[in-house]
Amino acid sequence: MGDHFEKGQRALLNEGEENEMEIFGYRTHGCRKTLCLAGSIFSFGILPLVFYWRPAWHVWANCVPCSLQEADIVLLRTTDEFQTYSRKKVMWIYLSALNSVYGLTHDHPLITDEEYIINRAIRKPDLKVRCIKVQKIRYVWDNLEGQFQKIGSLEDWLTSAKIHLKFGSGLTREEQDIRRLICGPNTIDVEITPIWKLLIKEVLNPFYIFQLFSVCLWFSEDYKEYAFAIIIMSVISIALTVYDLREQSVKLHRLVESHNSITVSVCGRKTGVQELESQFLVPGDLLILTGNKVQMPCDAILIDGSCVVDEGMLTGESIPVTKMPLPKMDSSVPWKIQSEADCKRHVLFCGTEVIQAKAASSGAVKAVVLQTGFNTAKGDLVRSILYPKPMNFKLYRDAIRFLLCLVGTATIGMIYTLCVYVHSREPLVEVVKKALDVITIAVPPALPAALTTGIIYAQRRLKKKGIFCISPQRINVCGQLNLVCFDKTGTLTRDGLDLWGVVPCGRNGFQEVHSFASGRALPWSPLCAAMASCHSLILLEGTIQGDPLDLKMFEATTWEMDISGDDFHIKGVPAHAMVVKPCKTASQQVPVEGIAILHQFPFSSALQRMTVIVQEMGGDRLAFMKGAPERVASFCQPETVPTSFVSELQIYTTQGFRVIALAYKKLETDHHNTALMRDKVESDLIFLGLLILENRLKEETKPVLEELISARIRTVMITGDNLETAITVARKSGMVSESQKVILIEANETTGSSSASISWKLVEEKKHIGYGNQDNYINIKEEVPDNDKEGSYHFALSGKSFQVINQHFSNLLPKILINGTIFARMSPGQKSSLVEEFQKLDYFVGMCGDGANDCGALKMAHVGISLSEQEASVASPFTSKTPNIECVPHLIKEGRAALVTSFCMFKYMALYSMIQYVGVLLLYWETNSLSNYQFLFQDLAITTLIGVTMNLNGAYPKLVPFRPAGRLISPPLLLSVILNVLLSLAMHIVGFILVQRQPWYSVEMHSACSVKNESLSKLTIPSTAPEKPGNIGAFTSFENTTIWFLGTINCIIVAFIFSKGKPFRQPTYTNYMFVLVLIIQLGVCLFILFADIPELYRRLDLLCTPVLWRVYVVIMLSSNFIVSLIVEEAIIENRALWMVIKRCFGYQSKSQYRIWQRALANDPSWPPLSQTSYSDMPGCGRGVSYSNPVFESNEEQL
């Protein structure tokens, strides 16, 4: 249902975005509503419960489809693979309240201007707005476009000129009030969910409803003890879940509450500057930023003045970022596109802290409110926590199927029970009870609690290792990881950079390296001036703060920083400008008194450079640039760039150094610095030299990567750094071994007449003598001998190339990703996109980063591990306290152990329920059953204790080169359950039939013990007419006694057999609690079997049997144990056997990456070395992937 809709009845919400949804229009139907109400009453509340679980059914039952324009109810469906439904009521916002205040009519000029969504949403003449609220975001009905549109932010089409013109002097009071009413308050309101709400939500879980049904049934049968035990377990489980959810709710509330109560200064068009509570802000308001250390209550575009902001909350990096005002341009291009690649440098984000606000000549720092509430950057982060992306993990889908199989089995049992008991003319109430009993036996109510304990234990073990988890269900997913992406800086390498030296550039090319280790000061030159002034450092309360790289560079010059006072008078230099001066000892050698920094074009990872305009005191006006060497060189006059630039750069990048280039030019002093366009300043520069910084690997990096690679887990590097540096770090860290080749992929955009191109070059490692020692450097070969095509390859490419391949060579992308290991110069968006592309190839992707630019990728990955404890990392499911990658193998090991534990638990619970089911159905044949105390002994003393202790095995310390099965419905697991069920069935039937054929067996006899056990005979009740069920002795029979002993001890046997140890968990004998429990349980059972204690037998409704028969019982159980153990060890756990079976049947993995690897693994034309392809070439890129042997796993998911 819900798919056959006419035009206007369905639409897309947030088209092309991550949270895209389909929206369907419905109108409430009175007759249908009445019928549903009647159904709810007559079904005793079951129908509303079903509607609660299935919102779409609720809408389909109560409503009829209609156009979205007329709808009073909308049904939303996500467009991802989960197709989750949700139901929302259409609400009305009335503007009539503003009538009396402003005399607002439908032809008021404020409302007739239909350029803005807000005005188009107002229905005339009754002045009201239709809206819906989805995941905390408000959408209003656009009467002109005929669709629901997001409200709470400025329109994307606005140009910079329009923003300055329309909002530069603020909004009028009327505009503010209209916007406030329609957009809603500017709050990121995460209410602390009341405990009763959490409780109801948890209790209405289908499994707890089933438990409630089971408990009611047991109470009616006087089976109180286990009913109370299940109630206690469920209460504890619900209490723990509710406590956990409540804690998360409180934590999230505290995270955002400070943002909701900030007082800000707002400039109105007619009212001037006023103090206002931040919750009353609306998009378009003009904020006046004064003072330092101001928390931003919304996203705002800076239009006047500049700011230094701490964006740690969003990026995880507490490095001051300089924000520049949006220039006023006459272009008709939207402001976001106009700002080149990085519009973020004009935006002050919600939740960040303005450390310093610097006014321009007009005297105030002004910003226009861009987005409010949950539309802001912080709101988006909070929403990603409130509404996490659902997990597509086969285990959970299989668990539902597994339960449905048990329900199916129970149904067969119910039919059998009805037939047997009706045929025996039993009372109807008893027949119904017995039939319902079968359901509670076949579907174990303790299953959720047993599965939860395994994850709780794993979570506790992770906590001891300093790894914190906000999404415990993802621990199981960790066990399936087969590809882990790593950020480089701060993750694989150390955080801090050490300045190694500078390579100045003269007329004759590069000069000798100036090493800072020697202690010699850098002589005065434009290079020294660039190092002293080309940075975004700030002076805050007497201390210099900023990017660690800038800090190291500035410290190396030994200059000092100051802020000019009011008495500072130099032409063109404003008061309170940043001034850098040489220290007193060096001032004699320096011809300038100091350098004043007039203007900054701040660094952006998209542009890979930053530029400053400075004024030498008593000297020239200059522009300095620093950034990625290739980018800086492209802005320089070609004759100033040394011919040896590429080779010199490679010398350092191949040794893993971080290289930054510097350049400068003289400017005309009569230009006002703010009038200078960036593209005019950044042209015809003179190349100054290279700055060499050392970024060492963390000690833990190499052994961890080696451990992952030896376990056949792919490792991939995604970094924002230089490509050559990344290749070297990959080699040094062991990500690329010495014997493996690296192929550099370069893709270029369409330019003029030529279409997009892609070229493949082999990166060869050669020895190069330089600076007194042997260093490696990279040489890009054009000609490749044939024998180089053998062996394994890794692809290395830049973010730019990745973007071009994604757009123009999408058919090549999967083939490249199969071997892509090094991705450099990647923007945060590209990192997320890459993770998503890996997931499309059916990889289980882990992402480990320090939270800086990795937030999106950490959220996108199946398992995100943040090494930062900043607020930004809350979006990541896992956070490690130890800031190195050692947490990755720990997490994978625990994930594998938790996954295997889940399987063990499922298997055990299935067997336990089937053993009871088989036993009870056999006894039903004789219209008998197990007594309450017999059930209680099996359920509580055996299964509950096993369920609690079986999960205690820790993770195995070594990562093996294969993963546990990721599916419940896999051949080995199903075969294990089926064979064990058949063995148990055979044993029970043999016991049932054999006991009836014993010479001492008699239906009327209630003891078969020898004369010595006469006392027992006297205690047993003599056989009379059939007794009413429930009376003492109603269950006693030889069949009952035999079946109970066989079933009870069999539960202990299968627990031992299913408790897996190596290779994913610690051996069973290390789980002392579990072993102790099994020994005690087995001891008690054998004691009951062989001890002739009349009172005990009477309590348990057992009959005394001859010793020989008891020995037979032990022999049957021993045979079952031996056969079961042999089957489990020789067949089920025999990987070699399953590999042979798979080869015999020609089974091949259906995972996309496996299909690509197999497609034409031996194709001699792949990879295409030393050639260039163009996007317009026919059949371009139609090849198959080359498979990388180091990651080729000879195992497959069974």
Query: Residue holding tokens 């055996």?
Result: 942
Q: Does 721 participate in catalysis according to the annotation?
A: no
Phi-psi region of 750 (alpha: psi -120 to 50; beta: other; left: phi over 0): beta
* Cα dist from 920 to 437, 597, 923, whole Å: 10, 87, 5
| H or E segment and range at residue 658 | strand 657-667
| Helix ranges (DSSP H) in 72-159 | 97-102, 109-112, 117-121
Q: What angle do CA 1180, 1152, 1138 make, to 5 degrees?
A: 140
Helices 971-996 and 1107-1126 meet at what angle, rounded to 10?
160
954 and 1065 in contact (C-beta within 8 Å)? yes
Q: Which of 380, 437, 487, 547 is catalytic?
A: 487
Give the integer Cα–Cα distance in Å for 968 and 776. 50
Give the integer Cα–Cα distance in Å for 805 and 811. 9
| H or E segment and range at residue 599 | strand 595-604
What are 91's strand-pairing partners? 131
The DSSP 8-state label assigned to residue 544 in this structure reads E
* Cα dist from 230 to 438, 450, 569, whole Å: 17, 12, 83
Give the integer Cα–Cα distance in Å for 447 and 454. 11
Q: What φ, ψ does residue 386 adopt, rounded to 5°?
A: -70, -35
Query: Residue holding tokens 């309590």?
Result: 1099
| Helix ranges (DSSP H) in 643-798 | 645-653, 678-681, 701-710, 723-733
- Structure tokens that stand for 696 in this block: 């060492």
Give the integer Cα–Cα distance in Å for 882 and 203. 38
979 and 1127 in contact (C-beta within 8 Å)? yes
Give the integer Cα–Cα distance in Å for 688 and 686. 6
State the CB neighbour count (10 A cutoff) for residue 871.
18
Give all strands (DSSP E) within 830-911, no chain letters.
845-849, 863-866, 878-880
Give the integer Cα–Cα distance in Å for 482 and 895. 12
Show Cβ contacts of residue 1034 under 8 Å, excluding neighbours closer than 6 positions: 931, 1027, 1028, 1101
Show Cβ contacts of residue 70 under 8 Å, excluding neighbours closer than 6 positions: 25, 27
Helices 394-423 and 887-925 meet at what angle, rounded to 10?
10
Cβ burial 1161-1171 (10 Å sphere, 16+ → b, else e): beeeebbbbee
Q: Report the sign of the C-alpha dihedral through residues 339, 340, 346, 350, in that order.
A: positive
Q: What is the 3-state secondary structure (H, E, C) of 935-960?
A: HHHHHHHHHHHHHHHHHHCCECCCCC
1135, amino acid identity: R
Q: Which of 704, 571, 562, 676 minimizes the C-alpha distance to 613? A: 676
- Structure tokens that stand for 465 in this block: 């290792």
Give the integer Cα–Cα distance in Å for 817 and 810. 11
Entry field: residues in the chain: 1198
Q: Which of 437, 448, 435, 438 minimizes the C-alpha distance to 402? A: 448
579 and 564 in contact (C-beta within 8 Å)? yes
Give the integer Cα–Cα distance in Å for 91 and 1088. 68
Give the integer Cα–Cα distance in Å for 603 and 1188. 38
Q: Report, as residue numbers or ranges, the catalytic residues.
A: 487
